[in-house]
Amino acid sequence: MYNSSLMALRPLVRSNSRSYAVKLTEHQAAIMARGLPKRERLRGVQDIIVVASGKGGVGKSTVAANFACSLAKLGKRVGLLDGDIFGPSIPLLMNVHDEPLVNRDNLMIPPQNYNVKCLSMGMLTPPDGAIIWRGPLVMSAIQRLLKGADWSPLDVLVIDTPPGTGDVHLSLTQHAPISGVILVSTPHTAAVEVTLRGAKMYEKLKVPIFGLVENMRYSTCDKCKHRMEFFRPDQSTKGLPKQLISLPLDAHIAECCEEGVPVVVKYPDSDYSELFKQLAQQISDTLDERRNQDLKASSNSSA
C-alpha cells in the first residue's frame, strides 16, 4: 500500500531531462488518500489517553503506570500500552514480563497485573536484545501493539510514550482517536521548553491536552512533613497547560518502580496515592462531562 503510493510519487523522467511533478495528479492524490492510515476507533476501547513529555527521565512511565492503576481502583477497565519501543519500562514497573499469548483471531492477549492489561515491546524482545529500527518499523510496531491485541473491553487505554514528538507520537495520533494527553515535566527549564514544543504539536494535530503533571519540584519529610523545595518559586512550568497535580520526589516512588509494584498499590493510603487518585478522578470526570455534552448536542440536533 505504502509502496504503491511511493511509486506514484516517483519523479517523472522525460528523454534527457528530468522534470518533477510539482502538483499531485488526481490519480496520485487518490492513491495517497488510500495509503494514509485511518483514525479508527479501537474495537471495545472507549477512551485512549496518552502520557507524554518532551524530555526523558521526567517520570512519564511512573505516572502512566500509577495513573492506570488508580483508574482501575476507581472501577474502570484499564489497559496500559508501552509506546516506548526502544526503552520499554512498563514490564519492570508493572512486573509483567511474560510473552503474551495469542488468541484464535491471532490477536495478542495483554497479560494483566494490578487489574491493568499491559502490553510492551519489552515482552516481545529478549531483555538484552537491542532494537535497531527505523521510522517505518517503529510505526508498524506501534500499530501492532495497538491493533494487533485483544484489548476489549476497556474503559481507558493509557499509552506511555517515549520522550519527544517523534514517529511514535505521530503514528499514534494518525491511527487512533486520542481522547487527550497528560503532559509530564519537571520544573527544569530544559524539560519545560521541550515539553512546550510537544504540547504545540498536539495542539496542531487537534488532540486535546488534559493538563500537566508536575514532577519532582519538592520533597516532603516522612516524619515532620516539612516540604523541601528544589526550585525557586519563579522557576515555573509557565506556558504549559494547567497543572493537574504536583508529585513530590520521593524514595518510596523510586523504590516501587524498582520493585515492580506501583506506589499506589504498595502504599494505598499514602499522600502520593491520594494525588494519583485525584488525577484519575479529574480525568474521568472530564471524560464523563464531555460525553454528556456530546449526548446533549446530538439529541439537540436530532430534535
Ligand X SMILES: Nc1ncnc2c1ncn2[C@@H]1O[C@H](COP(=O)(O)OP(=O)(O)O)[C@@H](O)[C@H]1O
Residue recorded with cell 515492580? 260
Residue nearest to Mg ion according to CB distances in the complex: 61
Between CA 271 and CA 37 the distance in angstroms is: 43
Nearest of 289, 293, 264, 291 to residue 278 by alpha carbon: 264
Helices (H) and strands (E) in the chain, counts: 10, 14
Whichever of 174 and 220 has its CB closer to ligand X, that residue is: 220
The verdict on 61 binding Mg ion (CB under 5 A) reads yes
Query: Grid coordinates representing 260?
Result: 515492580
Among Mg ion, ligand X, none, residue 247 binds (CB under 5-8 Å by kind) = ligand X
Whichever of 71 and 90 has its CB closer to ligand X, that residue is: 90
> To the nearest whole angstrom, how small is the minimum distance from the Cβ of residue 210 to ligand X?
17
Residues 77/88, Cβ–Cβ less than 8 Å: no
Among ligand X, Mg ion, none, residue 254 binds (CB under 5-8 Å by kind) = ligand X
Which residues are within 8 A (CB) of 274 and not within 5 positions of it... i.e. 6 or more apart?
Answer: none
> To the nearest whole angstrom, how small is the minimum distance from the Cβ of residue 262 to ligand X?
11
Whichever of 144 and 252 has its CB closer to ligand X, that residue is: 252
Among ligand X, Mg ion, none, residue 58 binds (CB under 5-8 Å by kind) = ligand X
The verdict on 120 binding Mg ion (CB under 5 A) reads no
Helix 251-259 × helix 60-73 angle, to 10°: 80
Task: Give residues in contact with ligand X (CB under 6 A).
Answer: 53, 56-62, 89, 215-216, 247, 249-250, 253-254, 257
